[in-house]
Structure 1
Amino acid sequence: MANHIEVKELLDAGVHFGHLTRRWNPNMAPYVYMERNGIHIINLYKSVAKLEEASTALAKIAASGRNILFVATKKQAKEIVAEHAKRAKMPYITERWPGGMLTNFVTIRKSVKKMAAIDRMKKDGTFNSLSKKERLQVNRLREKLEKNLGSISEMNRLPSAIFVVDTLREHIAIKEAKKLNIPIFAMVDTNSDPREVDYPIPSNDDASKSINKIVGYVADAIVGGLEARKESKESKEKKKEEKVEEKEATKEA
């Protein structure tokens, strides 16, 4: 279970600031508190409720040993999301979304394997037998693959959920996830359609402080889920050891 978050924390981070009223999506009406100086203000009490609901669900996914893919390619979100995803030991995409990342995952895995193959070439000396031009081409390919896919190199299967910052910008990722029935968790601003995702979190998806607050809370919940999984495993192992000891003690008796 995720820790409780206070409305004041979200207020201090500017999570309540929406877009200009003329740029709003009417489907966000249930999450809008008021209009101020031509800007919609998000109802933070609803943000808290939705954030806790989403975080609890994500913690359960993590506790079951499944992956959650973080997606955020906008400039102000990249580093923040990468940092929190790494902390939560989850894969992430912060560069360009590779088309077919989910719907054509087999091809994406082949590209990831290319990186591993190049690394093996460098270890076993094959790389040094190439011409200067070939080495340059291979290095460029490795750098390109690392930049776009390095953060998902450990993701051997499709994620069980995706977490998105800015649903409008990441519409391709959302479309692919929906096609495969992968649950979508997302920060949803007043210019977005909350119906596009399974777990919308009404929040300012433009300001770095707001993004950091929401993604940080979500990452904390995932870390909690991973810790619960570890504790559960250790508890099972301990019970197994105790049973073995009991059997041995019975035999000796």
Structure 2
Amino acid sequence: MLKFGVHFGHKKSRWNPKMKPYIFSEKGNVYIIDLEKTMALLEKSLEFARRVAANGGKIIFVGTKPQAKQVVEECARMAGMPFVNNRWLGGTLTNFREVKKRIKYLNDQEEKMAKGELQKYTKYERLRFKKEIERMNEKMGGIKKMDSLPQAIFVADAKENDLAVKEAKKMKIPVIGIVDTNTDPDPIDYPIPANDDALSSLRYVVGLVAKTIKETKKEPKPAPVQEKNNSKNKTS
């Protein structure tokens, strides 16, 4: 974790006092995260992710700041999970019924375009449909295969993505989250103290979560146990 810069926190002036238990020391006016605490909490988070994946559950990967966008999309796709890497749409979780209608509309329009059913419209109208699909994909392309609420969310920056965290808490959906030294860890069910700014740190942590999910989904499920018939034949 050292070589990925996971241990580097923020400047002292930007710290959140609630992160004190996870701070090892300070160097050059920058807080250093206690990697032993990080490792222990990371393993706890991975174990939770394993349980969700083993039960066929969904975990939304969320990361909307520039350095997190590509990492979140790549890792979520690798894990076969939904993701949000542009602006979080208010109501994604708390008003999922309406969001689901928009997802259905997007999928229907894409299917019509693929089948050539939009060719009957004028060139101007087809261009309008195309731009509409592009805009909707930018907003919800990562969740367009999600037909129900997820069993958990994973935020690559708990402070940056506080709206997603608030919605998850309101809906009683567990939250896994990277918490840097400037973050309040209290709302996060499975906090991972780590550098949430460095690309190398994000790739390491988000990649581990994705890899754990992917490997868990590949594991063969145990065969159902056959109940033995313990009844004995009666003799006359």
TM-score > 0.5 by shorter chain: yes
Please say if residues 21 and 38 of structure 1, whose CA atoms lie closer than 8 Å, have aligned partners that are also in contact.
Answer: yes
Alignment of 1:100-249 (within 5 A): 100-228=91-219, 231-232=220-221, 235-236=223-224
Please say if residues 107 and 144 of structure 2, whose CA atoms lie closer than 8 Å, have aligned partners that are also in contact.
Answer: no
Gaps of 5+ in 1: 1-9, 244-253
- Note if 1:30 corresponds to 2:21: yes
Q: Deviations over 1:39-74 (max 9, x none)?
A: 000000000000000001111100000100000011
Query: Normalising by the residue count of structure 2, what TM-score does the alignment of the two structures yield?
Result: 0.92
**Secondary structure of 1:96's partner?**
coil
CA, structure 1 residues 201+123, in 2 after alignment: closer, same or farther (shift >3 Å)? closer
**Secondary structure of 1:127's partner?**
coil
- State which drifts further: 166-175 or 112-121: 112-121
The number of aligned residues is 227
- Note if 1:11 corresponds to 2:15: no
Q: What residue in structure 2 maps to residue 247 of structure 1?
A: none
Q: What residue in structure 2 maps to residue 7 of structure 1?
A: none
The runs of 4+ residues in structure 1 deviating greater than 6 Å are none
Please say if residues 61 and 225 of structure 1, whose CA atoms lie closer than 8 Å, have aligned partners that are also in contact.
Answer: no
Please say if residues 158 and 179 of structure 2, whose CA atoms lie closer than 8 Å, have aligned partners that are also in contact.
Answer: yes
- Seq. identity, %: 42
Give me the whole-angstrom Cα distance separating, in 2, the residues matched to 1:170 and 1:156. 22
Q: Deviations over 1:178-234 (max 9, x none)?
A: 000000000000000110210000000000000001111111211222123xx116x
Counterpart amino acid of 1:220?
A: K
Gaps of 5+ in 2: 229-236
Q: Give the Å deviation of 1:120.
A: 3.2
Please say if residues 68 and 162 of structure 1, whose CA atoms lie closer than 8 Å, have aligned partners that are also in contact.
Answer: yes
Give me the whole-angstrom Cα distance separating, in 2, the residues matched to 1:13 and 1:125. 48
Give me the whole-angstrom Cα distance separating, in 2, the residues matched to 1:177 and 1:138. 32
- Note if 1:80 corresponds to 2:71: yes
Give me the whole-angstrom Cα distance separating, in 2, the residues matched to 1:43 and 1:202. 8
Give me the whole-angstrom Cα distance separating, in 2, the residues matched to 1:141 and 1:83. 24
Query: Normalising by the residue count of structure 1, what TM-score does the alignment of the two structures yield?
Result: 0.86
Q: Give the Å deviation of 1:168.
A: 1.5
**Secondary structure of 1:177's partner?**
helix
Alignment of 1:62-73 (within 5 A): 62-73=53-64
**Secondary structure of 1:41's partner?**
strand
Q: Give the Å deviation of 1:121.
A: 2.5
- Note if 1:49 corresponds to 2:40: yes
Q: Give the Å deviation of 1:137.
A: 1.2
- State which drifts further: 123-132 or 66-75: 123-132
Considering fraction of residues, name the structure with more helix: 1
Please say if residues 28 and 193 of structure 1, whose CA atoms lie closer than 8 Å, have aligned partners that are also in contact.
Answer: yes
1:89 pairs with one of 60, 80, 89: 80
Counterpart amino acid of 2:17?
A: P
Please say if residues 18 and 39 of structure 1, whose CA atoms lie closer than 8 Å, have aligned partners that are also in contact.
Answer: yes
Q: Give the Å deviation of 1:159.
A: 0.5
Q: Give the Å deviation of 1:124.
A: 4.7
